Structure 1
Amino acid sequence: MAAEVATTAAAANGPDLTHLESMIRENARKAKSIYLSSTASASGRKRIRIDPALASEDPDITKSALSLRLHAEYNDLQTLPEAIASKLPAAGPRKKKAKAPTAADAAPSQSEEHARKLIEGIPASKNVAGGGANSSALVLSRRPAGGSSSSSTTSTPNNAQRNEPQHMSLTRRSDVLAQPRPDWHAPWKLMRVISGHLGWVRALAVDPDNQWFASGAGDRTIKIWDMASGALKLTLTGHISTVRGLAVSPRHPYMFSCGEDKMVKCWDLETNKVIRHYHGHLSGVYTLALHPTLDVLVTGGRDGVARVWDMRTRANVHVLAGHTGTVSDLVCQEADPQVITASLDATVRLWDLAAGKTMGVLTHHKKGVRALATHPSEFTFATGSTGSIKQWKCPEGAFMQNFDGHNAIINTLSVNDQNVLFSGADNGSMSFWDWKSGHRFQALDTTAQPGSLDAESGIMSSIFDLSGERLICGEADKTIKIWKPDETATPESHPLEWKPTMVRRRF
């Protein structure tokens, strides 16, 4: 009776605080579940543990505990100390290798999925590992992996059955196509043998009117021959050593010659006399070429430079320096690169004639490059080295294809407008190629003159006439041989012997 009276008196004297007591007990329960269950690790850092029963009852406890755990465990590790950061390379985080999904991974618990959604900035992506749609990995193909092979994707519960494990691998590019079929060309046969020189025939040039051609040889003379009959018309003397280069101007009555005596001469074909000398080379001059539109002469030799001369004033306009070996051959053309030089240092250089500087260097050859040839109608050229003939595209000098099969020291290359490439070698072997496909449709050996040595069967120079129907070769047996296509040959009588191969032609 007394207790009831006290309770009634207390209720009459003040407000009812029973609801505050329930709130205090609930807050104490939450605080105890979050804070009192934390334990100290070996390093002294607090680790938060959550009662799973309480976490499932109240999601707020899970969110609060997760936030506390992130701050308690990782707040001090957001940035590395300066002493450690300075030693590490500036690189992104390393990707972990994804493991093959198991049955447990395929069906994660609801609590893990719920906790993942609580972390902002880390969405529940379908593809966690690299190689997704926005990945910059160098992946060429994907295919489902079989058995226990590793996978590059992980699946969430929503797409576990849809996305199978995938395996990325490098595959052969799709541009590896079958070799195109080459054009049929008639076989070439020997038409005429011209004798008259007393030394190796090292240089050839054809008249712009296709009426005659000139030859220079080791006997220090230049001889003019009739194109139709092969008769000797004129002999020019003046060099005191082997004549190595000849060029006839299409716009002037001039012929230019160079030799191992360091001399570069300009001949007036109306008087058959030397009217100009170009002095400057420090050693033998092995090659020369005329610019097709400018009054410019370019020469190259053993001193490793190509010199650009003003044809009329004899001024040395440029010294194209850069090669470390003998400049063995060079060509000129109207568009850039206007000068291309080949050297025994195994490189080919493309030159900007206006600036006198190198536009590009081709280093694909392994041995000295002795021969150059530009296509008369295409913007392409070929280079020849020991056992290697390569085709290039102007102006950047992009590699196009190899002409495989002529395993000898290539001394000379020539190409006509019928897409026939000729290569002549030091051992007397000759090859005729289809320019488009690189197929060798004819291979033979030259016949040395009776009485000459076997070592004198080398082909030293070659040139097509303006019609492209005559090939003139200067050889080491002191003769000039003229070749022409077999007029009686047909695709039926001389079928194309060609088998397609899987090759990568251009890259």
Structure 2
Amino acid sequence: MVEVANASAVDGAVVNHLERLVLENARKTKAIYSSTTDGSSGRKRLKLDPASASSDPDVSQKALSLRLHAEYSDVQTLPEAIASKLPAAGARKKKARAAPAEEAPSQSEEQTRKLIEGIPSRSSAGPGGSSALVLSRKPPSSSSSTPANPQRNEPQTGLIRRSDILAQPKPDWHPPWKLMRVISGHLGWVRALAVEPDNKWFASGAGDRTIKIWDLATGNLKLTLTGHISTVRGLAISARHPYMFSCAEDKMVKCWDLETNKVIRHYHGHLSGVYALALHPTLDVLVTGGRDGAARVWDMRTRSNVHVLSGHTGTIADLVCQEGDPQVITGSLDSTVRMWDLAAGKTMGVLTHHKKGVRALATHPSEFTFATGSTGSIKQWKCPEGAFMQNFEGHNAIINTLSVNDNNVMFSGGDNGSMSFWDWKSGHRFQGLDTTAQPGSLDAESGIMSSVFDRSGSRLICGEADKTIKIWKADEDATPETHPLEWKPTLARRKF
């Protein structure tokens, strides 16, 4: 009887032990699997319950891993609609992982770098690929596997200059220019000059309200045109029509018929004096600008005002037209240069590098470049985006006029009578001199107000404040031996 009781007690203990094992296994199973699925739809969901977590850390880790996987498995890949818009995301990540040091520059960085010519892209920047000051670190010695401890007095970093900052282009040799002829006849400052396309004569406009036609070979006066009632400030002679256009401080823009020597058209619209005028080389349009700060585009034949290019806040002192974009460039006394989209009549870009009013512009006859001049500052730009190229340093005066010929010679004339001749490629000033005021005039009347090269580029015509026109030409007897190039590369060139 006692044995039966002992047997029943042992069986009860075994049953209780098995029941505890079953319950414990059930709790572990529930902790792992029961909360990862929804019984109705079979949809996986996350249900983290700290109270239901097992005391076994391994079981808890597996349960948490399964739950997280069940929750985020639906969003491991992007939807097709979104993935199709990001085709290069994976390639870019792989490229970044493979070579993080050669990260491709962003579009904004490339655009900024493009606006400042001379700064290469990151991919091309090797030793000597940038003109900036860079931080140089001394590499560890390759003879030992562990880097050597630096000495206390030995600098490990230093500022060094890239080698290409000294690699300045050597300027071309140009013969010096000398005075060839002085023409007198005007009774006021000579403010405008224009050369006829066949290079036989040129026109001048002055403060005496007249326009005079001169023989280019002899300097003899051929004709005097009257019609303006104030200082003539701009002249342009058409290469495709027998027309000459003039503008003056009397707000008038006139079209002269060179066959009858009479005015055949007037262009009305300017609210104040008209200071600058230019003809488009291929289109029958005329562009004028003046004190009202607006450049107006006129249809040459119908006299209609096609566009009013507004944006400047000061007087437009000079403007140029060219065949390619930007087809119109204006310089203003508000210290800015604007490039215009002629088709839309809107600004393409604004150059704000000058600190003083921009009084002179000049485009290269064959290159897609142009120059701007203000007080003590002449800058060169590249079209069409207006990328800054270089400074022409050395002419410290109010720059009234700029001219460029096909031989890469640029002339700048100052308000104090100073003259500078430059090499267009390198910006080197190879000749500088002062004009001489004529007898009977004041020294203050030695300013150079206008200039233009003839069609061959061999003669330079200057209109001055002493009421004369001076013609300069290159010295034919000069050679690189008799007039050697005086040029020394500078350590650093100021970019802005």
Relative to the length of structure 2, the TM-score reads 0.72
Q: Which amino acid aligns with 2:259?
A: E
- Does 1:211 pair with 2:200? yes
Cα deviation 1:295-332 (Å, max 9, x = unaligned):
00000000000000000110000000000000000000
1:236 is aligned, of 197, 201, 225, to 225
Contact 1:178 1:503 (8 Å CA) reproduced:
no
What CA deviation, in whole Å up to 9, does each residue of 1:51-85 have, x standing for no partner?
xxxxxxxxxx99879979x9xxxxxxxxxxxxxxx
2:256–2:263 contact (8 Å) kept in structure 1: yes
Q: Is the 8 A contact 1:179 1:505 kept in 2?
A: no
> 1:338 is matched with which residue?
327
Structure 2 partner of 1:470:
459
Tell me how far 1:144 sits from its aligned partner. Answer: 4.7
Kept in 1, the 8 Å contact 2:166–2:489? The answer is no
CA displacement at 1:500 relative to structure 2: 1.0
Q: State the partner residue of 2:476.
A: 487
Distance 1:254 1:479 in 2: 25
Matches for 1:357-376 after TM superposition, within 5 Å:
357-376=346-365
> Which residue in the other structure is 1:80 paired with?
none
Q: Judge conservation of contact 1:204–1:213 (CA < 8 Å) in 2.
A: yes
Corresponding residue to 1:434 among 412, 420, 423: 423
1:221-268 deviation per Cα after TM superposition (whole angstroms, max 9, x unaligned)? 000000000000000000000000000000000000000000000000
1:300 has 2:289 as partner: yes
Indicate if the aligned counterparts of 1:391 and 1:400 stay in contact, CA closer than 8 A.
yes
User: How far does residue 506 in structure 1 lie from its aligned partner after superposition?
Assistant: 7.6
Q: Which moved more, 1:497-506 or 1:453-462?
A: 497-506
Supply the AA of the counterpart residue of 1:143.
R
Unpaired runs of 5+ residues, structure 1, are 1-5, 25-60, 71-130, 147-159
Paired letter, 1:498: W
Between the aligned partners of 2:294 and 2:423, the Cα distance in structure 1 is 33
CA contact (8 A) 2:339 2:349 kept: yes
| Percent identity between the two aligned chains | 80
Kept after mapping to 1: 8 A contact 2:284/2:301: yes
- Equivalent residue, structure 1, for 2:406: 417
The one-letter code of the counterpart of 2:478 is: A
- The residue number in structure 1 matching 2:448 is 459
Paired residues of 1:178 and 1:502 also in contact (CA < 8 A): no
2:264 pairs, out of 264, 275, 278, with 275
> 2: CA distance between counterparts of 1:328 and 1:341?
8
- Displacement of 1:355: 0.4
Given residue 246 of structure 1, which amino acid in structure 2 is its aligned partner?
L
The 3 A distance-change label for structure 1 pair 214 and 135 is: closer
Q: What SS does the corresponding residue of 2:416 show, helix, strand or coil?
A: coil
1:261 and 2:250 matched: yes
Alignment match, 2:312: 323
Name the CA distance, whole Å, in 2 between partners of 1:360 and 1:304.
17
The whole-number CA distance in structure 1 between the counterparts of 2:495 and 2:278 is 29
Scaled by the length of structure 1, the TM-score of the pair is: 0.70
Provide the C-alpha distance between the structure 1 equivalents of 2:259 and 2:358, rounded to a whole number of angstroms.
Answer: 36
Deviating above 4 A after TM superposition, structure 1's stretches of 4 or more consecutive aligned residues are 13-17, 61-68, 131-142, 160-175, 504-507
Decide which moves more: 166-175 or 238-247.
Answer: 166-175
Instruction: Output the amino acid matched with 2:462.
Output: C
Q: How does 1:183-198 map to 2 (within 5 A)?
A: 183-198=172-187
Q: Distance in 2 between matches of 1:471 and 1:135?
A: 52
The 1:219/1:501 distance shift into structure 2, 3 A limit, reads same
Q: State how far apart, in whole Å, the 2-side matches of 1:205 and 1:341 are.
A: 18
Whichever residue aligns with residue 226 of structure 2, its letter is T
Partner of 2:137: 143
Cα deviation, 1:322-356, whole Å, max 9, x if unaligned, reads 00000000000011100000000000000000100
| 1:431-475 superposed Cα distances (whole Å, 9 cap, x missing partner) | 000000000000000011011101100000000000000000000
**Is the 1:218–1:241 Cα contact (8 Å) retained in structure 2?**
yes
Are the aligned partners of 1:212 and 1:224 in contact in 2 as well (CA < 8 Å)?
Answer: yes
Distance 2:280 2:149 in 1: 64
Alignment of 1:450 onto 2:444: no
* Partner residue, 1:246: 235
AA of the residue aligned to 1:472: I
**Alignment length, in residue pairs?**
402
CA contact (8 A) 1:179 1:503 kept: no
Q: Which has the higher Rg, Structure 1 or Structure 2?
A: 1
Query: Residue 208 of structure 2 contacts residue 230 of structure 2 at CA under 8 Å; is this kept in 1?
Result: yes
State the Cα RMSD in Å: 4.2
Residue ranges of structure 2 left out of the alignment (5+ in a row): 22-54, 65-98, 106-121, 126-133, 151-155
Counterpart-to-counterpart distance in 1, 2:136 and 2:445:
60
Whether the aligned pair in 1 keeps the contact of 2:360 and 2:401 (CA below 8 Å) is yes
The answer to whether the 8 A contact 1:144-1:164 is kept is no
Contact 2:136 2:160 in 1 (8 A): no
Q: Distance in 2 between matches of 1:144 and 1:179?
A: 28
Distance 1:493 1:315, change over 3 A: same
Aligned to 1:98: none
- Note the C-alpha offset of 1:143: 2.5
The answer to whether the 8 A contact 1:326-1:343 is kept is yes
Give the drift of 1:285.
0.3
Distance 1:338 1:164, change over 3 A: farther
Question: Is 1:387 the counterpart of 2:376 in the alignment?
Answer: yes
Contact 2:293 2:315 in 1 (8 A): yes
Cα distance, 1:278–1:133 mapped onto 2, change above 3 Å: closer
Q: Is the CA contact (8 Å cut-off) linking 1:177 and 1:504 kept in structure 2?
A: no
Q: Secondary structure at the match of 1:224?
A: strand
| In 2, Cα distance between equivalents of 1:170 and 1:269 | 65
Relative to structure 1, is the Cα distance of residues 374 and 275 closer, same or farther in structure 2, using a 3 angstrom cutoff?
Answer: same
- For 1:5-44, what per-residue CA distance to the aligned partner results, in whole angstroms no more than 9, with x for missing partners? x9xx99xx78999xx9xxx9xxxxxxxxxxxxxxxxxxxx
